[in-house]
């Protein structure tokens, strides 16, 4: 059985995003969470990379109603898979996500292209960053 938990940290948290709206009908909020890494502004969305020397990246853990179908749709949105441009824009990995109840294994989309020259969101919170930079 496929893992049904998904950690989201960026545009999938933004109520104005059509895929966030899709998730609001196809998943339920499970818990708040965070991963250790680095978060970058990639213009219209953020990208996270895992880095043990990084900082906490804040997000939400969602429980997908139909993980196989939901992940197919999200893979296409995130540019992940064999039928997407190579190298993939994002990769999907199972990672431990920290919660107040301990570590939980979740799917996470991680940025898969070079980050040189991108603005780093060192606070680790994409929605807070958007609120402070309304023109983004």
- Quick: pLDDT tens for 69-86: 999 999 999 999 999 999
Instruction: Concatenate the DSSP letters of all residues of 116-127 into one string.
Output: TTPEE-TT--HH
- Class of the CATH domain delimited by 5-131: alpha beta
Does pLDDT of 136 surpass 70?
A: no
Whether the CB-CB separation of 26 and 84 falls below 8 Å is answered with no
- Quick: pLDDT tens for 84-120: 999 999 999 999 999 999 999 999 999 999 999 999 9
Question: What integer best gives the mean pLDDT of the chain?
Answer: 95
């Amino acid at each position: 059985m496929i893992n049904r938990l998904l950690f989201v940290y960026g545009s999938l948290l933004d109520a104005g995003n059509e895929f966030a709206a899709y998730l609001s009908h196809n998943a339920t909020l499970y818990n708040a969470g965070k991963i250790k890494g680095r978060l970058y502004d990639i213009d219209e969305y953020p990208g996270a990379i895992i880095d043990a020397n990084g900082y906490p990246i804040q997000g939400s853990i969602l429980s997908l109603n139909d993980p196989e179908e939901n992940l197919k749709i999200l893979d296409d949105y995130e540019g992940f898979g064999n039928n997407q441009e190579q190298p993939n824009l994002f990769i999907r990995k199972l990672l431990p996500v920290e919660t107040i109840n301990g570590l939980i294994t979740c799917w996470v989309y991680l940025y898969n292209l070079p980050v040189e020259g991108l603005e780093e969101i060192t606070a680790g919170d994409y929605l807070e960053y958007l609120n402070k930079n309304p023109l983004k």
